[in-house]
Amino acid sequence: MSNDKVEKTIPQTQAMFDNYGKLNGDNDILHYDDAFAKERGFRGTLGHGLMYTGYVCDLAAKKYGKDWFYRGRLKVKYVRGVCPGDNLVVSIAADGTAECKSQFDTTLVGSATLA
Amino acid sequence: MTRPSDVKPREGDQPASLYKDWKVGAEFPPLPFTVTPDIVKEYMSVVDADPKNYVIDGRQAAPPNTLFVYMMAVMYRLYPPQQGGIMLGNTVEFHSPIWADEDTEVIGSGRVTDKYEKKGRKIICYDVDFKRPDGTMIMSVNHMSAFPE
């Protein structure tokens, strides 16, 4: 287990949203139809929340190692959308505080800890 | 192999459940599926997962969150989805690993835990549990989404 902050940056593209949607079968047009998403008040199509939750989990597995598989605890809230062109910085602080931030907003807040 | 898209009703394919249709306490029918090495590999590619982070005692595990891609299928089989749903949050517990080099039989089940309206949003909360056929818990989730209608 690492007590250090872990972080990575993942530039977001529409192709990433499309590929995640092909796997999970999500056909919600908020992820694919730019005009529909903008009509709903968003900057553009929205990334799948569980896709960038997967980014957080990857860092948690790196931070906690084997323990993460047996007693990992994750709590996330999606506070803003992630859109194509966003430069998403994903981090878990030493105390387990988890966050995703783009150049526009904080998009996810929460924690990744051990029971 | 069970691709999530094989078992998840797709938005727009059938009449959607509306907020009024959801019943707190309603149980989702059990959903059996098989996670294969191909699914694990594809999942890792779409979430930018580093295989080095998933090695347990020298064996390559799958990201335990691979099961995320089946979560909504469990719920949507009882309540077909509508377009425009917004995911608000998830609380997740991981209990035991699944492996990247073998098929894993999983049964998803769950129930509606809450529904309410807040600031004009129609909010639904539900639990999903993923277990092996012998009852071993792999992952449990409490989920919250908002729907337009």
Give B 65-94 residues with CB within 8 A of chain A: 65, 68-73, 81, 83-94
Asked if A54 lies within 8 A of B46 by C-beta distance, the reply is yes
Q: Which two tokens stand for residue A113?
A: 């800890």
pLDDT digits (tens, 9 = 90+) for B33-83: 999 999 999 999 999 999 999 999 999 999 999 999 999 999 988 998 887
Whether the CB of A58 is below 8 Å from some CB of chain B: the reply is yes
Assess if residue B17 is contained within a domain: no
pLDDT digits (tens, 9 = 90+) for B2-29: 888 888 777 677 788 899 999 999 999 9
Assess if residue B15 is contained within a domain: no
* Parent domain of B67: 4-9+23-147
Distance CA A3, CA B105 (A): 35
Predicted complex: ipTM over 0.90 = yes
Asked if A57 lies within 8 A of B65 by C-beta distance, the reply is yes
Q: Which residues contact A76 (CB under 8 A, 6 or more apart)?
A: A49, A53, A56, A98, A108, A109, A110, B89, B90, B91
Assess if residue B66 is contained within a domain: yes
pTM above 0.90, yes or no: yes
Assess if residue B133 is contained within a domain: yes
Instruction: Specify the CATH number for the domain of residue B59.
Output: 3.10.129.10
Domains of chain A, each with CATH number or no CATH: 6-114 (3.10.129.10)
Tens of each residue's pLDDT in chain A, 115 residues: 777 899 999 999 999 999 999 998 888 888 999 999 999 899 999 999 999 999 999 999 999 999 999 999 999 999 999 999 999 999 999 999 999 999 999 999 999 999 9
Contact residues, chain B, for A10 at CB < 8 Å = 48
For B145, nearest residue in chain A (alpha carbons): A78
